[in-house]
Structure 1
């Protein structure tokens, strides 16, 4: 493919302009790198001479006294927290765990008795645990209220299901067919 002399000159000029632009861009990048290096150097000087002393001064006047006060307060409150933990929390957790283990033991004994066919022994084991836990025999007021609320909730659920699935022809209204516009 041969080009005319005019097109060849234009291409050579374009190539020359592109080469000049490339060289100028390389110069701009080199100058920007030198400027960035100088800025980094000045920022390091500024932070070392201006910012570091201010930060040190702020730390000494605000942070260190607050930390000291917090440390002293924590020392006082740590003893109170330890006493509460040892005196209140650990015994309560121990009692709860002991009660739970006792319930598990009685449930296992009742289950094994029922499995062996000794239903009266299983019944005695269950009632013994219930009366030992509450200090009385028979269901309490809370149990009666809970059972009553459960029955009411079940009845409400059954009513809602019945209402959903019942066949009621009056619920459906037939769509009217659109009438053609009258041309008056």
Structure 2
């Protein structure tokens, strides 16, 4: 298919304009890439110089004291209470395995057989008392942990360092 000279010149002119446009676009994209790299470097610098110290300061001022207080509560309250409970349970188990206690239990069982009382079914007063004391202790521990970790509104309020009055429009 042959083109006339006029059409061939127009086609060549359009091709040259398209190549010029393509070069201009490549140049613009190169500049945009350079600007984006510089903006990324500036953002990294700003983060390193401004944001990170503020985050570190906020952590030191607000989070670290709360975690330290929680650790003190757990270390001074919860762990000794759990240790006391475990120690008591182990000492009761040791007493139950003592031969004198086992002999006394056998004597009581023998005496109990002699008495012809019907056997009690179900838990007694001691069971309910032990359950109530255990529940009270658990509630106390949960309350102490809750008091430690609850949000204190005044703790998280940032102070305004500016001395200028606010602008009212």
TM-score (normalizing by structure 2): 0.46
Quick check: which has more Rg, 1 or 2?
1
TM-score (normalizing by structure 1): 0.43
